[in-house]
């Protein structure tokens, strides 16, 4: 029974790790109707910046995560304003390709600055765990889970209780109607992209704390975030969180009780099934709180 509980707990914590980068991706996708393929590489930039702050200045990655929020919000505004906005009314493939090009450029910048080597952040609490009802609770994963909870419920509150949040939701649900109601949808898109990118930066710090990383690892990150976003329903923040947890628990039980080799087969099989049977995702979509 302890093993089942441990497996469940490990899965939930891994789920938080999956949900954190997916929340920002889901928000941008839901509001702007674009798939931000650069989301992973932006998160990766967060990992490298945190690494530099940690190694060069001794700044703890958790403090770095807080610092990333305004920095990446600003980066998001710049990317949206300079790259995405000019093509926003063109076919979807335009934004996809321009973000693809941006991804390649940023990946190469990262490679030039930090080289192609694998990197790992190992603060004092790395590898530590807490006892919880007979199970082990990884400290860094628990922190990441906490960050995911804060991100989800913070964003949830923002969307539900503030004017800009309501404007984001309105824009996500029906852009034309939102415009007719007097909402500056361009500004909303800009802010949504900024928030999504800020969350990517924070997610990157968390992912860098848990996993080894290198300049092309963002492909794996963005694919998994895509999976979580689709499962949770595009634009559905709580859905992304729930899908992340579902994915983490499924992987944990499959890996522990079936075989580690079958995990990806089942998980991506599930993605195929969802896309065929319920393409809108398992939960309700469109930036819902």
**180 near another protein, rule: CB under 8 A:** no
**261 near another protein, rule: CB under 8 A:** yes
Q: Min. distance of Cβ 214 from another protein in angstroms?
A: 6
- Alpha carbons 162 and 192: distance in angstroms, whole number: 13
**118 near another protein, rule: CB under 8 A:** yes
With CB under 8 A as the contact rule, the residue among 140, 170, 206, 242 that binds another protein is 140
- Alpha carbons 148 and 203: distance in angstroms, whole number: 8
- Alpha carbons 228 and 234: distance in angstroms, whole number: 9
Which of these, 161, 205, 188, 235, lies nearest to 72 by C-alpha position? 205
Q: Min. distance of Cβ 136 from another protein in angstroms?
A: 5
- Alpha carbons 238 and 288: distance in angstroms, whole number: 8
3-state helix, strand, coil in the chain (%, to 5): 75, 5, 20
Nearer to another protein by C-beta: 182 or 261? 261
Rg (CA), the chain: 19
Nearer to another protein by C-beta: 239 or 255? 255
- Alpha carbons 227 and 270: distance in angstroms, whole number: 9
**280 near another protein, rule: CB under 8 A:** no
Nearer to another protein by C-beta: 126 or 158? 126
Summarize as ranges the residues that interact with another protein (CB under 8 A): 3, 6-7, 10, 13-14, 17, 35, 37, 92-93, 96-97, 100, 103-104, 107-108, 111-112, 115-118, 120, 122, 126-129, 136, 138-141, 210-212, 214-217, 219-220, 222-223, 226, 230, 251-256, 259-261, 263-264, 275, 279
């Amino acid at each position: 029974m302890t093993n089942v509980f441990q497996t469940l707990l490990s899965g939930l914590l891994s789920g938080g790790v999956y949900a954190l980068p997916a929340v920002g991706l889901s928000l941008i996708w839901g509001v702007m109707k674009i798939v931000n393929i650069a989301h992973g590489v932006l998160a990766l930039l967060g990992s490298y910046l945190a690494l530099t702050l940690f190694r060069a200045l001794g700044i703890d990655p958790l403090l770095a995560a807080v610092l990333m929020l305004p920095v990446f919000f600003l980066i998001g505004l710049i990317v949206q304003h300079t790259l995405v906005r000019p093509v926003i009314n063109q076919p979807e493939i335009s934004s996809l390709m321009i973000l693809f090009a941006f991804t390649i450029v940023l990946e190469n910048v990262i490679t030039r600055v930090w080289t192609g080597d694998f990197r790992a952040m190992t603060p004092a609490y790395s590898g530590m765990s807490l006892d919880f009802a007979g199970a082990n609770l990884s400290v860094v994963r628990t922190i990441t889970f906490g960050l995911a909870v804060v991100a989800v419920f913070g964003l949830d509150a923002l969307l539900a209780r503030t004017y800009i949040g309501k404007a984001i939701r309105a824009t996500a649900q029906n852009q034309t109607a939102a415009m007719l109601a007097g909402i500056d949808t361009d500004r909303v898109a800009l802010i949504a992209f900024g928030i999504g990118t800020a969350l990517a930066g924070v997610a990157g710090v968390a992912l860098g704390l848990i996993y080894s990383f290198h300049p092309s690892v963002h492909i794996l990150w963005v694919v998994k975030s895509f999976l979580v976003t689709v499962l949770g329903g595009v634009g559905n923040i709580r859905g992304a969180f729930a899908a992340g947890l579902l994915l983490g628990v499924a992987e944990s039980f499959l890996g522990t009780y079936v075989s580690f080799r079958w995990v990806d087969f089942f998980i991506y099989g599930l993605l195929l099934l969802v896309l065929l049977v319920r393409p809108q995702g398992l939960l309700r979509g469109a930036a819902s709180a």
